[in-house]
Structure formats: structure tokens, C-alpha cells
Structure 1
């Protein structure tokens, strides 16, 4: 009986020890899980909401601006400059006087030609009356008629030379260069001024032949130049060359740019874009949301304080935004900053306010 009691007592002690060990292990496991949960720190990120807006498909290329109308004004006679009426930067109208050459000699030439013309006219009238009476040969009379006509032409030419002493602008525009000074002796056809019409300006680009089907005249275009980084200038395709250069495989496209306020100048370097398609009311996200390392377009979508990788199908893109065809819905939040520290199902802490894709795209430019 005593032996039975000892066995029961030992069994009870062993069971209690085992139960105590199990309780300790369970407590340790729960404590470790809690610690691990506490150790998972939320990654600070910036996010942007998927917006609805318009976006355009654009072909872009670099260019240097050229003036459509530009004229070099040359001297039409060899004389000394007595006056200059315009300076560089002045706007001149077509026909406006820009400089004056000395007219002393030219005035005398006109008077001499006029006097000879009057003399021949009188002589011609006298010989006509004599010729009608058959008192002078027809050869003599005809020669006198030719002399009179030649002198009349000489008189008109001398008047024209006198007019040329006033140097006038052949086109309206801005005096972009003055090459002479008062007192200079100018020779025939010597350059004196350069006048440039600043509106419109032309942006000439050379486009690969594979883009030929996308472009046509009157399509909307825009221009950004380094000197006016905050401004966007609009225009349209003026003409497309009908031939492809076999050496470069490109064709020439001339874009006409509006320049009402003369903010642009010939020679400026910039980038021209031609809008060849528009998508209205489509889903847009910032291009910063794309994960660069992925082979397919992928973003981190925020869901209940964590992120999940989402593959998306993309469409048009511009400088800031990219069109989303599938994979996201309007209002979804995607990570745009802090992506490098994330992995699938990472917890995140959103910094600041959720941004929206900048929908100020070029879709407002019409595709004709």
C-alpha cells in the first residue's frame, strides 16, 4: 500500500513538472512573437492618388529656332552715310526709312538727265513736223525717237538712284544688326542692316521615317527653351518635306511657333513636341511611382497601412505622368517616394498629404 502511494506521488510531481514546462514554452513563444511584432517598423513614404485626367502622345526632338522672314538690307548706290534713324532692337515697319545717303551727286544726275530729256523732246517735236512735210529722212526721225526713249529711261533711272539714297526696310520686324556708322562710305550691295521678323518663328526638326504616319500639317505642337524654362509656347506643323533623306533616314518637319510677345529669339535652343493623339478622362499616376528595377511596369499600392506590388498596363506618357490602362482604380494610393526600402507587404507610414498626378498635360492642344 505504501509503495502504491509513492508511485502516485511521483507521477503527480512529474505531471506538474511537465505542465509547468509546457506553460513556460508557450509563454516564451508568445513573448517572442510579440517582440517580433514590435520590431517591425513602418517605413515612411510619400504617396500619390490615382487621378483622372487627359494625356497626350507626343513626338519630341531638339531644335534651334529660325526666323521665317529675315532680310539683309544692302546699299543700292555707293555714297557716304549722312544719317541713321534706327538702332538694334528697334521695330521697323515695311518701307520705313532706316538711313540716308548723300544725295548731292545724285540730285545733279537727275537734273542733267531731265535737261537732256527736255532738249530731245523739243528736237523730236520739231523733226516730227519736218518729217510730216517729207523734209527729213525716216532714218533720221526714227533715230531721234530712239534717242528720246533712251534719254527718258536714263532720266527715270537717275530718279530711281536718288530714291535708293533713302535706305528703307523691305519687311516689318526688329533691327537685329546694324553694320554701318554715320560717315561710312558704303559700296554698292554692301550690307548695312539686318531685320528679323520674330513672329512667327520656325522650329525645324528631322524626324525618323518610322514616325511619318503619325505627323501631318496643322497638328498642334509645343516648344520649351532653356532660356524660358517656366514657359510653354504653342504652335503647329507648318509643312512636312515630301522626301526622306536617304543618308540619315529622316524627313524635315517645320513647326511654326507663336511669338506674340517676342519672348523667343532666333537661335534659341529648345525641345519641340508634336501632339499626335489625345486620351481624355483616363487614369493617371506620377511617373515617380514606377519601380525601376522591375521588368514590367509595377507600383507599390497602399492597402490598410501596408503595400503590395501591383503589375500595371500602361499607355501614353508625358514629362510627368503615365497612363494606367489596367491594375489600378481611381483614388488608389501608390508610393512615389521611399520605394527603395519597401518589399511586398511592408508596413508604411504616410508622410504629408496624398498628392495627385499633375493633370496639367498637353492634352489641351488639339490634334487636327
Structure 2
């Protein structure tokens, strides 16, 4: 009986040891062995697109948001009321100074003018007769003065009526572009009633606000460049025309007025624009594509492509890796950003594929990636 117990105990010890060995292999040794294989395995090479940082010549500038204002702009309105007889333009026309725009009805004034001219002729005849009688001593001076007063009054009535008739012909006071007319032939218009908007289109003002700090860098005559969403591929040139005489107490900004050339009349008052004022001579700057920058709360960074620290000397291709660098950025212009610190001219930076890499990742450069991304965006 004792022998059986001893045998059973020995069997339990043997099976317990086997179970422990199996558990150790499955839950400790094997995971560590797999982890060691993984850690010792070569890192996968990620395909990215890269571009060299370059040194450009950038002009220092002040950027702002502006709004267009007509150099001259009025609501064309009559001085006197009347019925519209003729409209001598189409909405949106470019007109010259002195070009006739409207003709109001003048039938009543023309009839009055004829009447006054007849009365003026009679008054002239009576004045001549009284002059002769006065010379012969057959008329008094007061009678002669009364006749002359009547003649002068008729002359004044003629001149007044002629002026009234002239006021019913409405002309453009300067070269400009017409808006949409608000009246039609046959409509009665009252004195001062708006008939159409007329504005000068070339040149045209662009008003924008700058801070007190930037205002100190702006001078009359500096070059102004403006871009508009309606003409995304075009830049309109001009110059600083003048500045406001005071700083706004509400915003602590000051208004600057630029003058833009607009020979084709494509710009109209009220349009918003991105305005840049060139405030100095070109200076050398290091620039990279804006797509290379990763923006974050703890700092802006880029991935630079450098030679791998553990490079394989027998590798057929250059052994490269990604190095994260925190950078200090300056101005952004035409899709490129000025790097003040962190990158030197000639350094290669990753411009596509950043989401696949991290510090020390092995990389391979294939710039067709960036080309494919550009094509896809354009297709959308």
C-alpha cells in the first residue's frame, strides 16, 4: 500500500514538472523568443517623397485683407423731375466723360421757351420805341426804365428755361462704368431720384487695415500686390496711395489706401482681396514646401531624410532614415514656408508619406508619390 502511494506521488511530481515546463515555454520563453526575433528583424523600408530645402530671395511684405472702393462713384440722379424719353446706354457699359445717358421730356419747357422768346421780341421792340421817344423828349425816363426792365426779365426767363431744358439732358461727369439702371422709358423720375450707378473703374482703390507696428513700415509709393478669389491665378499691381490720419480706437488698426490698375475693368467696388505691401528689398531665406510641415500644439516639425546611423555598407541603394526636427517658421508664400531655424539649404525634407514614418524609420525616396497626390487633388 505504501509502495503504491510512493509511485503515485512520483507520477504526480513528473506530470507537474512537465506541465510547469510546458507553461514556462508557452507563456514566458516563447513570447520572449518571438519578441527577440521581432526586435532583431530589420525595420521595413517606407516609401516617401522628399524635396531639398532651397534658398530663395523673398521681399519682406505686410499682408492684409482689403476691400475695393471706387475712386469716383455716384448715383446718377436728375436735378429736376420729368418723364424719361430716352435711355442712351446699356447696363454695365463703359462710358466717357460728357457722354449723354438720359433725356427727359422737355415739351413743356420748349413751349415756355417759345413764349418767352416772343415776349422778349416784343419787349425789345417796345424798348427801342421808348428809347427814340426819350431821345426826342416825348417819353419819361421812368417809362423807358419800365420797358428795359420788361426786356431784361424776358431775357432772364429765356435763360432760366434754357437751363431747365439743359438739366433734362443727363451726361456722364467722368469716364467710368455704369451699373444696372433703375428706370425705364416713360417713367416719371423725381428730382434726386437714383437712375443708375456710375463709378470709375481704372484705377480703383483698395482699402485695408494694418497694425501700428506694420504701419511704421508702410510708405506712400510702395508696391502693392492684390489677389482675388474671382481671379485666383492673377495678381493685380498697384501702389500705396495714402493712409488714414488716425488709428481706430475700437480696433487699434489704421487704414491704408492703395491704388490698383484695372484697365480691363475686371475689378469692381466691394470685392475682397488678399493684399501684400512690399516693404523692403529682397533678402535670402530658406524655404520648403508647406506640405512638409507637421503643425502641432507642442511645436512645428518636419522629417529630414538623413543617412542611416546603422547603414549597411553592402546595400545597393543608399540606406536612409527619417529624422524629426522641430523648426521655427516664418512667412508662407505661394505654397512654400520660410524656415528660420532647424533646416539648412540642401537638406532633404519629407513632403509626402509622413503618416507612415517616425523618428528613425528607414525610408526610400520615390517622388512619384507627390506627383500622384497632386494629380488626385486636381481630379477632385
**TM-score band (shorter)?**
0.7 to 0.9
Say if 1:79 and 1:187, in contact at 8 Å, map to a contact too: yes
Higher relative contact order (CA 8 A, sep 6+): 1
- Alpha-carbon distance in structure 2 between the residues aligned to 1:240 and 1:248: 16
User: C-alpha deviations, 1:258-310, integer Å up to 9, x for none?
Assistant: 22222222222332222223434443222333342485664332223223344
Structure 1 counterpart of 2:201:
198
Asked if 1:245 corresponds to 2:260, the answer is no
- Change beyond 3 A, Cα 1:207–1:244: same
Say if 1:49 and 1:354, in contact at 8 Å, map to a contact too: no
Asked if 1:68 corresponds to 2:71, the answer is yes
- Alpha-carbon distance in structure 1 between the residues aligned to 2:337 and 2:179: 43
Secondary structure of the residue aligned to 1:277 is coil
TM-score (norm 2): 0.74
Asked if 1:321 corresponds to 2:324, the answer is no
- Change beyond 3 A, Cα 1:107–1:341: same
- Change beyond 3 A, Cα 1:35–1:112: same
Superposition map of 1:107-256 within 5 A:
107-131=110-134, 141-142=144-145, 144-256=147-259
| Structure 1 stretch displaced more, 238-247 or 143-152 | 143-152
Superposition map of 1:84-103 within 5 A:
84-103=87-106
Query: Structure 2: 5+ residue runs without aligned partners?
Result: 1-34, 308-319, 371-380
1:330 Cα shift?
Answer: 3.1
Secondary structure of the residue aligned to 1:68 is coil
Structure 1 counterpart of 2:322:
307
Structure 2 counterpart of 1:106:
109
Say if 1:46 and 1:337, in contact at 8 Å, map to a contact too: yes
Asked if 1:345 corresponds to 2:348, the answer is no
User: C-alpha deviations, 1:219-244, integer Å up to 9, x for none?
Assistant: 22222222222222222222100111
- Alpha-carbon distance in structure 2 between the residues aligned to 1:243 and 1:134: 75
Match of 1:283 among 281, 286, 293: 286
| Structure 1 stretch displaced more, 131-140 or 148-157 | 131-140
Query: Structure 1: 5+ residue runs without aligned partners?
Result: 1-31, 356-368
Secondary structure of the residue aligned to 1:198 is coil
Secondary structure of the residue aligned to 1:39 is coil
1:102 Cα shift?
Answer: 2.1
Secondary structure of the residue aligned to 1:112 is helix
- Alpha-carbon distance in structure 2 between the residues aligned to 1:354 and 1:48: 12
Structure 2 counterpart of 1:358:
none
Structure 2 counterpart of 1:268:
271
Q: CA RMSD in A?
A: 3.2
Asked if 1:330 corresponds to 2:345, the answer is yes
Say if 1:73 and 1:194, in contact at 8 Å, map to a contact too: yes
1:139 Cα shift?
Answer: 5.2
The count of corresponding residues between Structure 1 and Structure 2 is: 327
1:181 Cα shift?
Answer: 0.9
The runs of at least 4 consecutive aligned structure 1 residues that moved more than 6 Å come to 32-35
1:347 Cα shift?
Answer: 1.6
Higher strand share: 1
1:336 Cα shift?
Answer: 1.9
